């Protein structure tokens, strides 16, 4: 019964999440910051340098593609969902990644197979998957979600997403 509920929530979220993605924002590079060491002159600390590599995901026994991506520096498990308009976080994952949300501010944000989906729109500072970084990513925190979805507000910033047989490639 729990599996069926999770499956309905997952499928409902994947097919029913109808939140406009809004204007596409190009990732902004963080400006260098000054850090003072023991000397009189400041040293410049550059933003992190990413070395993007291709991600190859094998289809799970349940038929999904699962990846671990860093959200604000914290590793989180995602179902990579090419049918989801936006990144969707469970409340537990949002807390773990220090994404600010307030359940008292929840509202209906979409419709799923089980009815209305309640949650809150948020912005994620950074998502990094195998060096493929996106900044200021529009997302939602979904009430009662058991799993997070890596949707198009992240995926469209990649060079390509392809599925062949039981493998997904993210470049």
Tens of pLDDT, residue by residue over 3-52, are 333 333 343 444 333 333 333 333 334 444 444 445 455 555 555 677 89
Inform me whether the pLDDT recorded for 91 exceeds 60.
yes
Digit-coded pLDDT (tens) for 137-146: 999 999 999 9
Regarding predicted confidence, which is higher, 84 or 28? Answer: 84
Distances (CA, A) of 79 to 23, 47, 93: 24, 28, 13
Residues linked to residue 76 through DSSP beta bridges, in sequence order: 69
Q: What is the DSSP letter of 158?
A: S
DSSP 124-136: EEEEEETTEEEEE
What is the average pLDDT value for the chain, to the nearest integer? 81
- Measured between alpha carbons, how far is 36 from 43 in angstroms, rounded to an integer? 6
The first and second tokens of residue 22, run together, are: 């809004």
The first and second tokens of residue 54, run together, are: 């291709």
Which residues make Cβ contacts (< 8 Å) with residue 93, sequence separation at least 6? 71, 76, 77, 148
- Measured between alpha carbons, how far is 16 from 44 in angstroms, rounded to an integer? 46
């Amino acid at each position: 019964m729990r599996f069926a509920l999770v499956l309905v929530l997952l499928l409902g979220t994947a097919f029913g999440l109808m939140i406009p993605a809004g204007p596409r924002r190009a990732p902004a590079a963080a400006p260098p910051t000054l850090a003072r060491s023991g000397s009189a002159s400041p040293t410049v600390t550059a933003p992190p340098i990413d070395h993007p590599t291709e991600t190859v995901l094998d289809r799970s026994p349940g038929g999904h593609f699962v990846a671990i991506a860093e959200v604000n520096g914290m590793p989180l498990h995602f179902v990579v969902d090419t049918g989801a308009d936006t990144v969707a976080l469970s409340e537990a994952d949002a807390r773990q990644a220090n994404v600010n949300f307030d359940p008292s501010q929840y509202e209906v944000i979409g419709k799923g197979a089980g009815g209305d989906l309640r949650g809150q729109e948020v912005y994620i500072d950074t998502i990094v998957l195998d060096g493929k970084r996106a900044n200021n990513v529009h997302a939602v925190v979904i009430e009662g979600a058991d799993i997070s979805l890596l949707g198009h507000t992240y995926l469209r910033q990649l060079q390509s997403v392809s599925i062949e047989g039981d493998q997904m490639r993210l470049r």
